């Protein structure tokens, strides 16, 4: 794990002073587990955002398809010269390989090359698993390191992977998947600790004698625990993965798969920082004008939809509480829910906060609540963890929800130096796609509206559909493809992207696809 301070410095997030030994990034990469089955397909979605965000005129892409053993079976080269939406279908690649038949599993590595500094070593790609009735998606997860220096910087802290939900039943199992780096891994050991909703824990371990270079592994959690459905008792749980993998970026695609319904939902794992306690583990920029950290999330409670906020026991030791300010779509204040969660430093616990239940408990079920600003308050203002991640679960009653891994925004006064924002998001357009744009800040007093220029991009060509939205403070803008005839016509039943620019740096957002099966795909925007 790399420290947050180092990441801010090397990525120039808030205009930090660049160190003398700064090394430009000319290669950016992502690697995904890919699968092609009768009832499950894989596509990669991206847009030519480099041409807009970095003003780079030409991008080269190398695509490397490998089978599950890590053997390279297809390589392609692509020139990115427009900012339009791109879609890569695994099935179309396999058609070029007559000796490779479905079912197929392996990995697809996408390498981006530029003669101009890319800044980020990981590109903004999305993997989308889908079939006729459902889909699920997550942004770039794993990658192959650029060099030894890159590896050593990201290997500074050895931590477990965690921060996601699992389910278990007769037909459903949690899983995690990864692709090894360029070197074989010998005597690889995994220890898995599962915590249920009651705070009980069980542990199991297994080993892999050797993981070949670029080999892809998909681990089914049910295979390593006896009677896991009984332990979870029809609730979600969470797990921590301890391993001795080396030479690979240790971020896993994780989720749950229902074999009977041919459905799955995915997200990505995150660092377990619960044993990281040095100075770099805590935020040391205090400013009384800011709350410790906040994030605006959409609230879905109508038509059997649910909203849950999940707290994982993965923070550096600290005591904190959560409150929520509730607003309608126009940013009008509705209610303040104080101390909806209180942590205990001695025992961090896996907790899921159900906003449907909270709203009913406070007699607000008839209120037009559309957004909640989650407010994090730490007891010790010098002990605010730098690595903070929650889960946002938007779903449909009686179905497994999406499980978005996200970070609240630290109360960083450096945000005041930013004069504009550039954000972008995919539009899956599989069944019922929705984009949420928020305007929120960690400032205690925030009154700035956001004038947002939205440019929609499609697969067919480089044509753009342009819109302007004015979002009041703590308000949201909801864009639904099914109810927006002009946007639906523009996309032509294909995926798309939208770029969002504003002189207000506080815009953020989320995207969802509510599928006919009840599964919800979702993630935060870039």
Residue that terminates a domain, selected from 388, 410, 432: 410
Residue that terminates a domain, selected from 135, 153, 171: 153
- Based on the fold, state whether residues 284 and 400 are members of the same structural domain: yes
**Cα–Cα distance between 314 and 429 in angstroms, integer?**
34
- Based on the fold, state whether residues 293 and 383 are members of the same structural domain: yes
Distance set, CA 329 to CA 351, 370, 487 (Å): 28, 5, 21
The CATH number of whichever domain residue 436 belongs to comes to 2.60.290
**Cα–Cα distance between 53 and 3 in angstroms, integer?**
25
Which residues face 376 on adjacent strands?
293, 322
Question: What is the pairing mode between strands 293-298 and 409-410?
Answer: antiparallel
- Based on the fold, state whether residues 215 and 131 are members of the same structural domain: no
Q: How much is the pTM?
A: 0.93
- Based on the fold, state whether residues 246 and 342 are members of the same structural domain: no
Name residues whose C-beta falls within 8 Å of residue 210's C-beta, 6 or more positions apart in sequence.
184, 185, 186, 187, 188
Residue that terminates a domain, selected from 253, 270, 287: 270
Backbone dihedral region for residue 493 (phi beyond 0: left; psi -120 to 50: alpha; all else: beta): left
Tens of pLDDT along the chain (526 residues)?
A: 555 545 554 555 555 566 667 889 999 999 999 999 999 999 999 999 999 999 999 999 999 999 999 999 999 999 999 999 999 999 999 999 988 888 999 999 999 999 999 999 999 999 999 999 999 999 999 998 887 777 677 667 789 999 999 999 989 999 999 999 999 988 899 999 999 999 999 999 999 988 999 999 999 999 999 999 999 999 999 999 999 988 888 899 999 999 888 899 999 999 999 999 888 888 866 788 999 999 999 999 999 999 999 999 999 998 999 999 999 999 999 999 999 999 876 567 899 999 999 999 999 999 999 999 999 999 888 889 988 899 999 999 999 999 999 999 988 888 888 989 999 999 999 999 999 999 999 999 999 999 999 999 999 999 999 999 999 999 999 999 999 999 999 999 999 999 999 999 999 999 999 999 999 999 999 9
- Based on the fold, state whether residues 102 and 243 are members of the same structural domain: no
- Based on the fold, state whether residues 204 and 293 are members of the same structural domain: no
Place of tokens 């009154």: 447
The CATH number of whichever domain residue 361 belongs to comes to 2.60.40
How is 367-424 classified by DSSP, letter by letter?
S---EEEEEEEESSTT-EES---EEEEEEETTSPPP-EEE-PEE--GGGGG---EEEE
Count: domains in the chain: 4
Query: Residue 1's closest CA among 159, 139, 142, 188?
Result: 159
- Based on the fold, state whether residues 323 and 369 are members of the same structural domain: yes
- Based on the fold, state whether residues 223 and 295 are members of the same structural domain: no
**Cα–Cα distance between 132 and 155 in angstroms, integer?**
40
- Based on the fold, state whether residues 321 and 405 are members of the same structural domain: yes
- Based on the fold, state whether residues 370 and 406 are members of the same structural domain: yes
Domain that includes residue 228, residue range: 158-270
* Contact criterion met (CB below 8 Å) for 481 and 498: no
Instruction: Using the CB atoms, write b or e for 395-407: b if 16+ within 10 Å.
Output: bbeebbbbbbbbe
Q: How many CB atoms lie within 10 A of CB 283?
A: 22
- Based on the fold, state whether residues 293 and 392 are members of the same structural domain: yes
- Based on the fold, state whether residues 149 and 166 are members of the same structural domain: no
């Amino acid at each position: 794990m790399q420290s947050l301070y180092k990441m801010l410095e090397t990525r120039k997030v808030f205009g930090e002073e660049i160190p003398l030994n700064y090394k430009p990034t000319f290669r950016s990469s992502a690697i995904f587990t890919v699968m092609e089955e009768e009832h499950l397909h894989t596509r990669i979605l991206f847009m030519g955002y480099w041409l807009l965000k970095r003003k780079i005129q030409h991008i080269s892409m190398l695509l490397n398809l490998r089978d599950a053993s890590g053997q390279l079976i297809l390589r392609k080269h692509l020139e990115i010269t427009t900012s339009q939406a791109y879609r890569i279908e695994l099935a179309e690649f396999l058609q070029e390989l007559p000796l490779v038949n479905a079912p197929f599993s392996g990995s697809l590595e996408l390498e981006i090359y530029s003669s101009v500094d890319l800044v980020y070593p990981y590109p903004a790609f999305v993997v989308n698993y889908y079939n006729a009735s459902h889909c699920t998606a997550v942004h770039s997860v794993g990658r192959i390191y650029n060099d030894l220096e890159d590896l050593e910087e990201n290997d500074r802290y050895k931590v477990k992977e965690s921060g996601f939900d699992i389910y278990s039943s007769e037909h459903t199992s949690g899983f995690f998947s990864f692709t090894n780096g360029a070197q074989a891994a010998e005597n690889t050991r995994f220890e898995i600790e599962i915590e249920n909703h009651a705070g009980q824990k069980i542990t199991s371990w297994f080993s892999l004698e050797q993981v070949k270079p670029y080999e892809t592994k998909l681990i089914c959690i049910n295979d390593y625990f006896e009677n896991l459905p009984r332990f979870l008792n029809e609730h979600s749980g969470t797990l921590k993965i301890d391993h001795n993998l080396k030479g690979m970026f240790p971020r896993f695609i994780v989720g749950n798969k229902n074999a009977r319904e041919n459905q799955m939902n995915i997200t990505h794992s995150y660092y377990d920082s619960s044993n990281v306690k040095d100075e770099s583990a805590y935020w040391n920029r205090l400013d009384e004008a800011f709350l410790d950290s906040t994030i605006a999330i959409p609230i879905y409670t109508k038509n059997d939809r649910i909203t849950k906020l999940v707290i994982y026991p993965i923070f550096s030791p600290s005591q904190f509480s959560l409150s929520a300010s509730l607003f309608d779509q126009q940013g009008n204040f509705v209610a303040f829910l104080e101390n909806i969660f209180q942590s205990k430093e001695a025992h961090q616990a896996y907790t899921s906060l159900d906003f449907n239940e909270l709203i009913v408990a406070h007699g607000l079920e008839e209120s037009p609540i559309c957004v909640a600003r989650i407010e994090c308050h730490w007891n010790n203002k010098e002990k605010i963890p730098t690595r903070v991640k929650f889960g946002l679960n938007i779903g449909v009653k009686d179905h497994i929800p999406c499980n978005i891994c996200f970070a609240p925004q630290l109360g960083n006064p450096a945000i005041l130096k930013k004069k504009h924002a550039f954000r972008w998001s995919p539009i899956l357009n599989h069944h019922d796609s929705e984009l949420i744009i928020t305007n929120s800040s960690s400032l205690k007093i925030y009154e700035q509206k956001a004038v947002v220029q939205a440019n929609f991009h499609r697969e067919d060509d480089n044509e753009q559909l342009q819109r302007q939205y004015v979002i009041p403070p703590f308000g949201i803008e909801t864009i639904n493809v099914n109810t927006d005839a002009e946007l639906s016509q523009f996309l032509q039943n294909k995926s798309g992207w939208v770029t969002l620019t504003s002189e207000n740096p506080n815009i953020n957002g989320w995207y969802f696809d509510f599928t006919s099966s009840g599964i919800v795909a979702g993630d935060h925007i870039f």
